[in-house]
Every structure is written in C-alpha cells, then in structure tokens.
Amino acid sequence: MLISKGFSLDGYKAVLKDGSIMTGYINSIFYTVVGTFLSIAVTIMLAYPLSRSDLVGGKILMAMVTFTMLFAGGIIPTYILMRNLHLINSRLAMILPGMLGAYNVIIARTFFANSIPKELLEATKVDGLGNIAFIIKMVIPLSKSIIVVLALYYGVAIWNNWFSAYIYLHDVNKYPLQLILKEILFGNSTDMSASSGSSEEVGLDALSESIKYACIMLSCVPLWIAYPFLQKFFEKGVMIGSIKG
C-alpha cells in the first residue's frame, strides 16, 4: 500500500487549466490580506484599552466580549443582518462578520497587560505623548510577537473560510479558493459515483482522485510557505499572551 504505482502531474495540470482556480487564489489572497489587517487593527484597538486598569467600565466591556464566546446570533439572524446592511454578494461579507474574535482579544489583552509596563506609559505622558500616539509609537513596535500570532489566527481562519462565501456570495468571480475547490471536489465525486468500471472510466477515476489531492495541496501551500518565517514570533507570542492564573 505504501509503494507508489507511478508519478504524474496530470491532476495539477487539470486543476490549473481551470481559470476559476486563479480567480479563487486572487480572491482568497485579497480576503486574507485585507481581512487580517483590519482584524488585527480592531483587535489591538479593543484589547489594549481592556488591558488598562484605568479604563472606566472595563470589566463590563470585558464581560460583553466574553459573552460572545458563549452565545452567537446564529445563521439566520446573521443573514438577515447582512441583508439589511446590503452586504449580500459583497466582498465585505467575507471580512466584516468575523473581523473580531473574542478569544484573540483575550490573548492580546493578556499580552499587553503582562508586557507593556505602566511606567512606560507614565514616562511617555511626561514627554507629551497621547494615548493614540503611545499605541502607534510604543505599543505596536513592542508587540510584534502577538501581532504575528493574531495574523496567523485570523489569516488561517479567513483563508479556510468557505462557508461565509457559500451563504453570502452569489457571483462566481467573488468566490474564494476554498469554495471553488469544494465545487471541484464535489463535481469529481459525482462523476466518480457514475462510473461503471470500464478501463477508460477507471483511468478517469484515477485522474479524479489526483485532482482531489492536487486541490488539497494547492490550498495548503501558501500557509506552509508563510508559517516557517513566522514560527519564532508565534511561539513567543503564544507563551506571553496565554491566559494565566
């Protein structure tokens, strides 16, 4: 079972011939890059104030964030909300609903609370820096590791997100790669189930299997390329930003 019966790139050739694959790649890269950037920005803007002990109503706001981890609106109310906001079949439908993750907010908040000393804030206030300038000039440069952690968490989630596209998008030209690959895999499974066992159809079945695995590999390659460059920051950020006590 472990011995290969041959080597062939026919599956990759068949997949790459489909122009929708490149469209899906471009769409997924756009959703991932833009969505990750906005998600990190929003997460930092919420997590840093929550890490400050002088934030009025901070505990109440933190309880509201935690509440969203336990209870969600559900698919139907969310769809109605997206429809009322006129986001159906819009690219923003792939970015806005999952822009903020409560778990990521908690990780970032813990990191800021443990890694950004209050004395640093007091020193910058003496120099005349406001809160926004302090975040831009001091907090963000000192938080590269947690930013990488957030980028991986959000990036992987957005890259693998096909369900939102399945519900909210109707234009094929806006489909992400994962949804296009799902359509390819489903179509090949249907074709295989209709085979009757002739030698020609057996060859088609083998090609269909090759196409399936080629699709899986193509969807994983970008993350495999990115992870080694971010691994050292990822480990540090997870350990420092982990929940303690």
Residues in the chain with pLDDT values less than 50: 189-202, 241, 243-245
Enumerate domains of the chain plus CATH numbers.
Answer: 10-241 (1.10.3720.10)
CB atoms within 10 A of CB 113: 17
At 199 the pLDDT is 43
pTM of the model: 0.78
At 42 the pLDDT is 93
Reduced to 3 states (helix: H, G, I; strand: E, B; else coil), residue 18 is coil
At 37 the pLDDT is 94
**Cα 225 to Cα 21, 109, 222, distances in angstroms:** 19, 29, 5
At 192 the pLDDT is 40
At 203 the pLDDT is 54
At 145 the pLDDT is 82
CA dist 114 and 229 (Å) reads: 25
